[in-house]
Amino acid sequence: MKRIELIKGDITQLKTDAIVNAANSSLLGGGGVDGAIHRTAGPQLLDECKQLNGCPTGEAKITKGYQLPSAFIIHTVGPIWRGGNKNEPTLLKKCYTNSLAIAKQNQLKTIAFPNISTGVYGYPKEAAAQIAITAVKDYLNQNELPEKVIFVVFDDENYAIYQDLLA
């Protein structure tokens, strides 16, 4: 699909209309990609996030990008992996579809996703990638916006997984 791209790199350096933050439910910053986004965006991001009253798992909320090259940040809260029988696949899929819906509502043409839930939340990487790709392809098949979705991976293992699944 021409509307999906894969790159290995730092999502905080991407110039897209929006990047997605794999946030925790407080939206007040954390480790991994969440911490990197908060550090790069600057203190105004934390100030705006404090006004949002958190975010439930599977849902998404939008803020400005502040010091990031991207204009907006869509924060979504992925599920913590608990073996797969606690609705994790459905909740992870909702992270992608709800983020894409917010992008569409805001007329955003480009959006970049990290690997949601595969870090400290422990979601198996290949299973998470399959859900991500399927959710994005299904959404794009039914919607004109966003025009382009970029999967941004940080490591060789995830890059290989996504490359295989997108082939």
- DSSP string covering 85-104, please? -SSHHHHHHHHHHHHHHHHH
All domains of the chain, ordered by start, with CATH?
4-166 (3.40.220.10)
Catalytic pick among 34, 47, 138, 155? 34
Kindly tell me if the per-residue pLDDT of 1 is higher than 80. Answer: no
Q: 15 to each of 26, 42, 115, 123, how far by Cα in Å?
A: 26, 16, 18, 27
DSSP tag of 80: P
Measured CA to CA, the distance from residue 117 to residue 87 in angstroms comes to: 13
Kindly tell me if the per-residue pLDDT of 85 is higher than 70. Answer: yes
Q: Is 34 a catalytic residue?
A: yes
What tens digit of pLDDT does each residue of 17-73 get? 999 999 999 999 998 899 999 999 999 999 999 999 999 999 999 999 999 999 999
What tens digit of pLDDT does each residue of 108-134 get? 999 999 999 999 999 999 999 999 999
